[in-house]
Structure 1
Amino acid sequence: MVTVLALSAALAYGVADFLGGAVTRRTTALRVLTWCVPVGLGIVLAAALLGGGGPAPGPLAWGFAAGLAGGTGLITFYRALARGPMNVVAPVSALAAAVLPVGAGIARGERPDVSVAVGVLLCLVAIGLVSMEPGGGAEPGAAAAGRRLTDSGPVMAGISGSCFGVFFVLLKAAGDGTGLWPIVAARVGNLAVIAVALLVLAFRGGGLGPRLSGWTLIGLALLSGTLDAGANVLYFLAAHGGMLSLAAVLTSLYPAITVLLARIAYTERLRAVQQVGMAVAVAGVALVTVG
């Protein structure tokens, strides 16, 4: 059941990222997030009310902290894309997001069977392979003197992936005795991060970019937020139904879904390394399922 839930979360995350990326081509990531996150909050709030359980201070605090980490990771990830080539940024971020929960799971005493452990290892390799994109070169002025290491693409990608990994770990720590209320708190944390980003942008005199116009784009943005919220719920259920390491790694296979959708929608060819990654992912999931 954990495998089904985690892979369903990966599917939902992958489709949400694809739709969000498609809308972002017409505007900016922050403007898209101002649509996606609020609708996601409404979805998880309705699910929490229908699912039973009651809010408790401890789990809500864990969930809110997870939301802060996840929101920070998302914004940092987009900044990393502006600082380094996609073929470096995406694998580093995805792998960091998966490896940290594995370490946390092992520290918690999780000891998967040999076949499951090998499957998890293969999935980690697959995450890096399917995330790789053709290098786009460094951004203008990237070689300018005085560039700080902490502002480089790979470093920021590692930070964003670590934030996503913390998100996974903290949702596990929130416990499962209060229904889906920790997810509600996590979405509130996402909103808090976006609100801070908007305030910083306003202070600097910047703009949000082109407005979303047309029901199609708005609908895609809302659908992206809905799927992302659903993925949060599915991961939460997976993490509390079994091992953190297994749930987080399988969920982190979402780049494979995004890559496949791009192949279908934009007729983008899968590069050889991505094809290998897909095959490795299938093998990894098979071993995990058998185990």
Structure 2
Amino acid sequence: MTSELASMLYALASGLTWGTGDFSGGLASRHTPVLIVVTLSQSIGILCLLGVIALSSEPLPPWRDLLFGSGAGLAGVIGLTAFYQGLARHPMGLVAPVAAAISAMLPVLVSFALEGLPAAPQMLGLALAIVAIWIISQSGGMTAIQRRQFQFKLPVIAGLGFASFFILIDQVSQGTVFWPLVAARCTTLALLASIILGKRQWQLPPRRRFPVIIMAGVFDTAGNALFALAANVGRLDMAAVLASLYPATTVLLAWFILKERLNGKQWIGVMAALVAVLLMAL
């Protein structure tokens, strides 16, 4: 298996797990304060990462990699908190496309500047994938009032946070995956703890809310690790765009579980995404 193909598979798996994690986190945030959901899910994530490190025996990397990991964690938690707040306040089909499009396009521009342009089929695949991301993550059945009341601030912040995570985690040394993510989680938890203590808002949710919060933590962490692997062995633009297909998972779960309707355009988006993946694999 070539490194390019491995990177694509890691990135696609990252999008699948991130989409599941975002759906779980958004669902949990409808009943539990966002800061509590993010703090608990991030705590679960760091336990998962430490377990993986113990099994893989990954050596401690240079401080440079840990600093990039910390920066990525700070950007990621800002994006994740804004995303969960957006999902809790607005329909998923309005929040997801804005955040996903921004999180895909910025790493593409950075990758073009640092790594040069990819071949023509890959360029076409990248463009088609970004269009597919926008189409897939939109949903019908929303009223004109919902659209007028929709505010772009939260999904834009989410997209910028996710894009910064992609760019920063791509800067770690090749072969280093899990320790920078631990540094990211430690930074995240320190920030969240200071905010919660300052607001004096800490209160554990009821036990029945924990399963979906645990799912959010496990899947979000798995998505981070898979993206780090994708960026480690391949191009940033390919990894970021394929991972940003996560709204497909989110809206499909919303359709299946929450009965949010999928429209014909979204199915066109799914087909466009499949064609884009094939083009990028050439």
Matching of residue 76 in structure 1 with residue 70 in structure 2 = no
**Which among 17, 22, 30 is matched to residue 25 of structure 1?**
30
Contact 2:97 2:247 in 1 (8 A): no
Q: Deviations over 1:260-291 (max 9, x none)?
A: 122222333212222221121111112112x1
Q: Report the equivalent of 1:186.
A: 184
Counterpart residue type for residue 260 of structure 1: L
Q: Report the equivalent of 2:42.
A: 37
Over 3 Å counting, the alpha-carbon distance change for 1:179 and 1:17 in structure 2 is closer
**Aligned residue-pair number:** 274
Matching of residue 130 in structure 1 with residue 120 in structure 2 = no
**Which among 209, 217, 228 is matched to residue 220 of structure 2?**
228
Matching of residue 195 in structure 1 with residue 181 in structure 2 = no
Counterpart residue type for residue 246 of structure 1: M
Over 3 Å counting, the alpha-carbon distance change for 1:54 and 1:221 in structure 2 is same
Residues 1-291 of structure 1: pairs in structure 2 closer than 5 A: 1-51=6-56, 52-80=58-86, 87-134=93-140, 135=142, 137=145, 153-202=151-200, 207=201, 211-214=205-208, 217-289=209-281, 291=282
Q: What is the CA–CA distance in structure 1 between the aligned matches of 2:87 and 2:218, rounded to whole Å? A: 24
Q: What is the CA–CA distance in structure 2 between the aligned matches of 1:132 and 1:179, rounded to whole Å? A: 33
Contact 1:23 1:32 in 2 (8 A): yes
Q: What is the CA–CA distance in structure 1 between the aligned matches of 2:111 and 2:102, rounded to whole Å? A: 14
Q: Report the equivalent of 1:148.
A: none
The percent identity for this pair of structures is 36
Q: What is the CA–CA distance in structure 2 between the aligned matches of 1:167 and 1:110, rounded to whole Å? A: 21
Please state how far the C-alpha of 1:171 moved relative to its aligned partner.
Answer: 0.2
Q: What is the CA–CA distance in structure 1 between the aligned matches of 2:170 and 2:74, rounded to whole Å? A: 15
Contact 2:175 2:232 in 1 (8 A): no
Q: What is the CA–CA distance in structure 2 between the aligned matches of 1:262 and 1:138, rounded to whole Å? A: 17
SS at match of 1:91: helix
Aligned-pair Cα RMSD in Å = 2.4
Q: Report the equivalent of 1:147.
A: none
The unaligned stretches of length 5 or more in structure 1 are: 143-151
Contact 1:85 1:153 in 2 (8 A): no
Q: What is the CA–CA distance in structure 1 between the aligned matches of 2:199 and 2:247, rounded to whole Å? A: 29
Q: What is the CA–CA distance in structure 2 between the aligned matches of 1:80 and 1:153, rounded to whole Å? A: 9
Over 3 Å counting, the alpha-carbon distance change for 1:221 and 1:84 in structure 2 is closer
Counterpart residue type for residue 211 of structure 1: P
Q: Deviations over 1:74-112 (max 9, x none)?
A: 122344457777554322211111111101100102321
